[in-house]
Amino acid sequence: MSTHILGISAFYHDSAACLVKDGKILAAAQEERFTRKKHDYRFPKNAIDYCLSEAGITASQLDHVAFYDKPLLKFDRLLETYLSYAPSGFRSFLKAMPLWLRQKLHHPREIDKGLEKQYKGRYIFLGHHESHAASAFFPSPFEEAAILTLDGVGEWATSSMGVGRGNRMELTHELRFPHSVGLLYSAFTYFTGFRVNSGEYKLMGLAPYGDPIYTDLIIDKLMDLKEDGSFRLDMSYFNYCQGLTMTSPKMDGLFGGAPRVAETPITQREMDIAASIQKVTEEIVMRTARHLAKTTGMKNLVMAGGVALNCVSNGKVLRDGCFENVWIQPAAGDAGGALGAAMFVWHHLLDNERKLPEGEQDFQQGSYLGPKFSNDEIKKYLEKVGAKYHYYETEEELLDVVSGHINNEKVVGNFHGRMEFGPRALGGRSIIGDARSIEMQSVMNLKIKFRESFRPFAPCVLREHAHKYFQVRENEDAPYMLTVAPVLDEHRTEESMEGKTGLDRLKVNRSSIPAVTHVDYSARVQTIDEQRHGRYYRLIKAFYEKSGSPIIINTSFNIRGEPIVGKPEDAYKCFLATNMDVLVLENCVLVKDEQPTIDKNEVEKYLSQFDLD
Ligand SMILES: [Fe+2]
């Protein structure tokens, strides 16, 4: 008899479901990909239905259902925080209350409803950071590892530390609300005019344009940072305990005025703040990692929690050498809690053996854990909408055509295989192009994604060639695009950054692969190997054989504010609405110029449905 465990995360942001069958992750997906509402926090009904269909079961056949946090403890934090700031937090308290009373305090009832009352067992509620920690350790390739989780906040914990061994894990230390590296970063995300819980990437991307002139000020004034990476924040500068904003007016005095208003021009101040808070974050993470290495004596580190998506600080930890190996859960944010909760039940609670299957490099399966679609389904859809497409019977023929398009500097939407679990597109739902192209970064940002011009793109590189371009070890594995590495000197161009400030730095031709080289010569590398990436590996190889370059540019298949495409239909609509040249849907290839006239109204309708993120 098989054991099926469903993990759920929901009701905050990035709801998700994961199904583990006898220890194998059978399916995992975020609700937003189905509902087309970014960061959808509602009960993940669609994601659960998908997971059940992948296993061929109904909810009545589930053996265990685990939830990624403890709602009552969260409520306890809310009340206690309110009481300690009362009466000043009354407005935010009032704003939060209705949803708590209606839904969040009644998780078993809400989950029962979501599962249509078919599941008869009890629900297992794990600690928020327990779920993050489990998502970091259990899918990792390591027999034993130190565990570090960092995020905004769970119930009370904002960071936790511990050790995983075999099929068990133990968390030994934690940092508690309101002292939080995630909330500190989010406070500056807010202050620089980006949206909290989604604009953190933008702040990270903006950092290399600035100078970290506020670093000491942040460390001296806003916090008391200890050698072991723990800290206390001076809460008089923040407002997130009692108010509806992240920072208090006292913060404005330190940084020369009020927070930037969203969508207004970004000035040098925001760039310098971005650079400074990035440096402070790296300092906190580095101190914590070094302390953890020293106290646990472990060679391996695993990480999860939203802050573990900061690939710049991850890169620093990796290259610092305090740990020999680092593995980070690709769905490091709260969506990944669903996966962690299910894995925790199988290993830690049910005491089942944890053994890497033959030929696998970790338990995460490249994070290709979502839905896939057959050629027949795709052809049927394309015929229904009257799209013109070429169907290639063999992979060889297909890859020859698609790599040719990339070599001709075409922007290609690549939809193939299972959808990725986690915020990064890893080749399954990606927009790709030639990384050597000088125009590519701005074309992709402005004409394809309709987003800010400063945002960097990531390279996908054949793993065996990565060390020839980036400062990584030979055959270093970075399949989940979670660490940055510097571009090697020999690939940097002569043209200097000197005298260039702010966004002007973007105009400097930085390297032989400018489309994926950030202004500080860093790149968020994804290494591609044949075992994990199959056809995607062979596509880049075909491009390499034509062009001599083993690197392509990769970005998620979506426009600004849109969740990454889930179905062929989403991909086709996105293709029509943007300046993308070519769309690959499994073995079908669509060329933009060959498409029948595109209905402008339809395009407008499509574009207007996504809020700016
Ligand atoms: Fe979290």
Structure tokens at 601: 């109204």
- Give the distance (Å) from ligand 1 centre to CA of residue 129: 7
With cut-offs at 50, 70 and 90, classify the pLDDT of residue 520: confident
153 CA from centroid of ligand 1 (Å): 6
CA distances from 245 to 91, 240, 241, 267 (A): 11, 6, 9, 21
Percentage of the chain surpassing pLDDT 90? 73
**pLDDT score for 5:** 98
CA 65–ligand 1 middle distance (angstroms): 19
Rounded to two decimals, the pTM is 0.93
Confidence of residue 612 (pLDDT cuts 50, 70, 90): low
Residue 401 CA to ligand 1 center (angstroms) comes to 43
Looking at residue 15, its pLDDT comes to 96
Helix, strand, coil abundance in the chain, percent, nearest 5? 40, 20, 40
Confidence grade of residue 572 (pLDDT, cut at 50, 70, 90)? very high
pLDDT of 112 reads 87
Quote the pLDDT of residue 496.
Answer: 67
Kindly report the length of the chain. Answer: 613
- Residue pLDDT, tens place only, 191-239: 999 998 888 988 998 998 999 999 999 999 999 999 999 999 999 999 8
Whether 69 and 154 have beta carbons less than 8 Å apart is answered as yes
Q: How confident is the model at residue 98 (pLDDT cuts 50, 70, 90)?
A: confident
Cα distance between residue 459 and residue 573, in whole Å: 25
Give the environment of ion ligand 1: residues with CB less than 5 A: 151, 334
Please tell me the distance between residue 551's alpha carbon and the centre of ligand 1 in angstroms: 33
CA of 138 to the centre of ligand 1 (A): 17
Q: What pLDDT was estimated at residue 358?
A: 87
Which has more confidence, 422 or 240?
Answer: 422
Of 428-432, 439-443, 539-543, which gets the smallest average pLDDT?
439-443
Ligand 1 centroid – CA 122 distance (Å): 23
| The pLDDT of residue 43 is above 70 | yes
Q: Report CA(403)–ligand 1 centroid distance (Å).
A: 39
Lowest mean per-residue pLDDT among 174-178, 390-394, 426-430, 441-445: 441-445
pLDDT of 99: 75
Tell me the CA–centroid distance for residue 225 and ligand 1, in Å.
22
User: From ligand 1's centre to the CA of 337, what distance in Å?
Assistant: 8
Structure tokens at 190: 């807010």
Using pLDDT thresholds of 50, 70 and 90, give the confidence band for residue 497: low
Distance CA 353, CA 302 (A): 19
CA distance 134 to 127: 10
Q: How far is the CA of 557 from the centre of ligand 1 (A)?
A: 25
Residue the block writes with tokens 């996908």: 460
Give the whole-angstrom CA distance, residue 540 versus residue 548: 11
Q: Compute, in angstroms, the gap from residue 530 CA to the centroid of ligand 1.
A: 32
CA of 569 to the centre of ligand 1 (A): 31
291, containing H or E segment: helix 268-296
Distance 154 CA to ligand 1 centre (A): 6
- Å from CA of 133 to ligand 1 middle: 10
Over residues 301-318, mean pLDDT: 95
d(CA 19, CA 177): 31
* CA of 334 relative to ligand 1 center, distance in Å: 5
Instruction: Compute the distance from residue 449 Cα to the ligand 1 centre, in Å.
Output: 27
How many CA within 13 A on the CB side of residue 444? 30
Q: What is the mean pLDDT of the chain?
A: 91
Mean pLDDT for the stretch of residues 262-275: 93
pLDDT score recorded for residue 121: 92
CA 136 – ligand 1 centroid, Å: 12
Tell me what the mean pLDDT of segment 536-543 comes to: 98
How far apart are the CA of 339 and the centre of ligand 1, in A? Answer: 13
Q: How far apart are CA 3 and CA 267, in angstroms?
A: 55
- State how far the Cα of 17 lies from the Cα of 11, in Å rounded to an integer: 12
CA of residue 305 to ligand 1 center, whole Å: 5
Average pLDDT over residues 533-550: 97
- Average pLDDT of the residues in 555-568: 93
**CA of residue 131 to ligand 1 center, whole Å:** 9
Provide the pLDDT for residue 308: 95
Question: What is the widest separation between alpha-carbon atoms in the chain?
Answer: 69
Interatomic CA distance for residues 71 and 66, integer angstroms = 13
Residue 404 CA to residue 546 CA, distance in Å, equals 8
The 10s digit of each residue's pLDDT in 116-157 is 899 999 999 999 999 999 999 999 999 999 999 999 999 889
**b/e per residue 20-42 (b: at least 16 CB within 10 A):** bbebebbbbbbbbbbbbbbbbbb
d(C-alpha 381, C-alpha 572), whole Å: 10
Distance 139 CA to ligand 1 centre (A): 17
512 Cα–ligand 1 center, Å: 38
CB atoms within 10 A of CB 582: 23
Contact predicate 124/66, CB 8 Å:
yes
Percent of the chain residues topping a pLDDT of 70? 97
Contact between 207 and 200 under an 8 Å Cβ cutoff? The reply is: no
Number of Cβ atoms within 10 Å of the Cβ of 473: 11
Report CA(97)–ligand 1 centroid distance (Å): 21
Residue 444 in this model has a pLDDT that exceeds 70: yes
How many C-beta atoms lie closer than 10 Å to residue 351's C-beta?
A: 9
CA atoms within 13 A on the CB side of 464: 7
> What pLDDT score was predicted for residue 86?
66
Query: How far apart are the CA of 310 and the centre of ligand 1, in A?
Result: 14
The CA 580 to ligand 1 mean position distance, Å, reads 35
Ligand 1 centroid distance, CA of 383 (Å): 43
Q: List the alpha helices (DSSP H) in 514-567.
A: 530-533, 535-547
Q: Residue 47: in which H helix or E strand, if any?
A: helix 45-55
Q: Is the pLDDT of residue 160 over 70?
A: yes
